[in-house]
Amino acid sequence: MSDTVLATRGLHMAFGGLMVFDHLDFSLKQGERHAIIGPNGAGKTTFVSLITGLLRPVSGDVLLDGRVITRDPPQARVKAGIVRTFQINSLFKALNPLESVVLALCERDGRARPALRAVARESALIGEARGLLEQFGLGADALTPTQTLAYGRQRLLEIALAMALKPRVLLLDEPAAGLSTRQGHEVFEQLLRLSAGVTILFIEHDMGLVFRYADQVSVFAGGAIIVQDTPDNVRVNPRVREVYLGA
């Protein structure tokens, strides 16, 4: 168990009268690539939000390296290495990719608070930001305002922003949403190339991606994890076929 990075213990969550999940135990191992699948509304996004602290559970705990972080504010969890992307792009529309990434880097290194030294003097960070954008193939778009970027490019920036923080655990909510099958694969390839050593938890509805890139798959349904297994076993599991995959 010592290689467990992230875990939840008896996590209970409800929105008003709607119970999302009840007593959920989950653990994520160091270096694992773990996919979450499940019917719409099963609580996958909610689960990620609980881990990152954007939502608070009704009861139960979230643990990082065995330490309870349920009451920590989201920022503290980011600093501890838990980083996420969003199901629907959540970017800085008026900033360009360069500014967005430099912003992320300044926050990561805690250089945003002293307030009179110009950004231009942070040449190391600016260089790092350029490198990152090149790696994600966004070099040519570095100065284009985000809101005028094509959707697929925005999706890449969404992931680049998360990577800029040098995460230990990366949570991806449908990273390939809005992309074609082929682009989805490209995004994953790129991501995995750049994220050696990072533990990844991702949500996907595209089974091609799930079965190709995950080591482990958890299936959320009806407020619980009904199956947790390797992709090959999940693919043929009759319960999973019944509630999620279909014929």
Partner 1 sequence: MAPEATPVLEARGLCAGYGAARVLHDVSFSVARGEMLVIIGRNGTGKTTLIETLCGLTTLHGGEIRLEGARIEAMPPHRRSRLGLGWVPQEREVFASLTVEENLTVAARGAAWPLERLYGLFPRLAARKRNFANQLSGGEQQMLVIARALSTGPRLLLLDEPVEGLAPLIVQEMLAAIGAMRASGGTAIVMVEQKYDIALAHSDRCLVLDHGEAVYSGRSADLLADAPGLERLLGVGGQADPG
Partner 2 sequence: MSAVPEWFAGKARWSGFEIAFWCALAGAYFLPNIDIALLSQIFIWGLFAMSLDLLLGYRGIASLGHAAFFGAGAYCAGFLGKYGWGEPVSGLLISMLPAAALGWLTGKLVQRVSGVALLMVTLGLNLILFDFVQRSTALTGGDDGLQGIAVDPLLGLFRFDIFGRTAYWYSLGALFALFVFLRAFVHSPFGLALTGSRENARRMIMLGSPVEGDISIVFAVSAAAAAAAGALLTQTTQFVSPATLSFQRSADVLVMLIIGGAGRLYGGLIGALIFLVMKDWLAALSPVYWYFWIGLLLVLVVSFFRKGVLPSLETGMRGLIARLGKARGGGPPA
Q: Which residues bind partner 2 (CB under 8 A)?
A: 52, 54, 74-75, 78-79, 83-84, 86, 90-95, 98-100, 102-104, 106-108, 111-120, 122-123, 126-127, 130, 139-140, 142-143, 161, 165
Of the pair 45, 85, the CB lying nearest Mg ion is at: 45
**Parallel, antiparallel, or unpaired for β 216-221 and 224-229?**
antiparallel
Of the pair 32, 206, the CB lying nearest partner 1 is at: 206
Of the pair 56, 166, the CB lying nearest ligand ATP is at: 56
Interaction of residue 18 with ligand ATP, rule CB under 6 A: yes
Binding residue for ligand ATP, selected from 41, 66, 131, 137, defined by CB under 6 A: 41
Of the pair 40, 123, the CB lying nearest partner 1 is at: 40
Interaction of residue 100 with Mg ion, rule CB under 5 A: no
* Terminal-residue alpha carbon distance, the chain: 36
Interaction of residue 202 with partner 1, rule CB under 8 A: no
Interaction of residue 42 with ligand ATP, rule CB under 6 A: yes
Kindly state the smallest distance separating residue 216's Cβ from partner 2, in Å.
24
Interaction of residue 140 with ligand ATP, rule CB under 6 A: no
Interaction of residue 223 with partner 1, rule CB under 8 A: no
Interaction of residue 115 with partner 1, rule CB under 8 A: no
Binding site for Mg ion (CB under 5 A): 45, 87
